[in-house]
Amino acid sequence: MLGGPRFWAEMSTLSATVASTEVTARVRRAGILSVAAHLPDGILSNADLEAMVDTSDSWIMERTGIRLRHRAGAGETTSEMGVKAARRALEMAGSPKIDAIVVTTITPDTRFPSAACLIQRKLDMGGIPAFDINAACSGFTYGLIVSEGLIRSGVADHILLVAAESMTSLVDWEDRGTCVLFGDGAGAAVLGAVSEGGIVARRWGADGTKGHLIYYGPKPDDADSPDKLRMAGKGTFRMAVETFCDVTAGVCADAGWDPASIDHFVPHQANQRIIEAAAKRLGIPMERVVINITETGNTSSASIPLALAAAAAQGRFQRGDRVVVAAFGAGATWGAVAWEWDAV
Ligand code: UT7
């Protein structure tokens, strides 16, 4: 009976649970416990591209900073690459019990089931929630923010975040303005609750009116042309520099950090010139900027975890270092996350 002794006993248990969840939410922080990467063996060099379109190694190096990109072979799907990165990240984090799998991708193996469900099956983690996020090149930052929210609210203790992309499957191999830029690869991270350090600030956003700058579909002036990755290079370039600066300055302000004081700036790897222009405006010295685009090209949402994993393997991060990742992408979307390095 509503209002009877049993009802009030249950309500009191419930309010105690809510109160303790609120306390937990106040004190819980989410940390990034491990980051790992996988790049397919196939290599597409600038010399290979010279044989395909009217371009040159010197033009590509000078305008983009890219020397080579990796290309997945037949059967090497987005979920396959994601699983390889995920296994490494799980092992590095000490194989904690995972409560949810979040995957960021714009190139899932199939429209559905999601890449996250395919990865869950391959990892034999049946039962836990698994879903994809499509935020294009900003995907990893969106994935961090969603995962952090789940951990801070007490919904999950550990999350496997995978960013995997087969960008070469979307490219128009006759368009020299885009086909030289993109590559394939995957990164993965395990996030977990930490008592100190961890994520201290996050910013994200989107502006659907800028969707025409970079999209998958026919050419803007030819509705009968095939669906491929299309990009207005110069407009995207301008948007990229502005967005990097705004979102990075914003997340640093939220963290109470001067951008010039951060130890590592790890931007989405779209073009070395975009990164250099943004770092200069933000006053971040280039030796604190992680760049690996030379060996990967633009791998969309996988680019930040690939850069993080490469820099971590070089021993660049110390516990407590201030790290800021920032991205912009199709949509337009953007995101940035600031944290104190936790990964072992
Ligand atoms: O993840 C986010 C998505 N993407 C980006 O952030 C990319 C943003 N944009 C860019 O990175 C640059 O705009 C590009 C790298 C795409 C192009 O560089 P740019 O300095 O903006 O070159 P441009 O588009 O102004 O083209 C300059 C010239 C043109 O020739 P003309 O018209 O001056 O004769 C292009 O046709 O360079 C030509 N060009 C090329 N030449 C050799 C364009 N692509 C190539 C190429 N090789 N691959």
**Of 137, 179, 245, 252, which one is the catalytic site residue?**
137
Element (H, E) at 62: helix 57-64
Q: Is the dihedral of CA 172, 305, 40, 129 positive or negative?
A: negative
Same domain membership, residue 161 and residue 117: yes
Q: Which residue has the higher pLDDT, 8 or 45?
A: 45
Same domain, 185 and 260: no
**Is residue 5 very low, low, confident or very high in pLDDT (cuts 50, 70, 90)?**
very low
Whether residue 233 has its Cβ less than 6 Å from ligand 1:
yes
Inter-CA distances, 344 with 93, 142, 313, Å: 8, 23, 11
> pTM surpassing 0.85?
yes
- Find out whether the beta carbon of 137 lies less than 6 Å from any atom of ligand 1: yes
Per-residue pLDDT at 2: 42
- Do 107 and 46 lie in one domain? The reply is yes
- Distance of CA 341 from the midpoint of ligand 1 (Å): 36
Q: Which residues of 267-284 are buried (b: 16+ CB within 10 A; e: fewer)?
A: bbbbbbebbebbbeebeb
Active-site entry in 117, 158, 268, 292 = 268
Nearest atom of ligand 1 to the alpha carbon of 240: 6
Instruction: Look up 158 and say whether it is catalytic.
Output: no
CATH number of the domain bearing residue 328: 3.40.47.10
Domain that includes residue 295, residue range: 199-340
The answer on 295 and 222 residing in a single domain is yes
Q: Are residues 177 and 75 in the same domain?
A: yes
Q: 236 in ligand 1 pocket by Cβ < 6 Å?
A: yes
Note whether 50 and 72 are same-domain residues: yes
Compare 23 and 328 and report the one with higher pLDDT: 328
The number of beta carbons lying within 10 Å of the beta carbon of residue 309 is 26
pLDDT of residue 196: 84
C-alpha torsion 307→145→204→130, nearest 10: 90
pLDDT tens track for 210-257: 999 999 999 999 999 999 999 999 999 999 999 999 999 999 999 999
pLDDT digits (tens, 9 = 90+) for 82-133: 999 999 999 999 999 999 999 999 999 999 999 999 999 999 999 999 999 9
Cα–Cα distance between 58 and 39 in angstroms, integer? 24
Q: Determine if ligand 1 sits within 6 Å of the CB of residue 292.
A: no
In the prediction, which pLDDT does 209 show? Answer: 97
Expressed in angstroms and rounded, the spacing between residue 177 Cα and the centre of ligand 1 is 5
| 133 and 183 co-located in one domain | yes
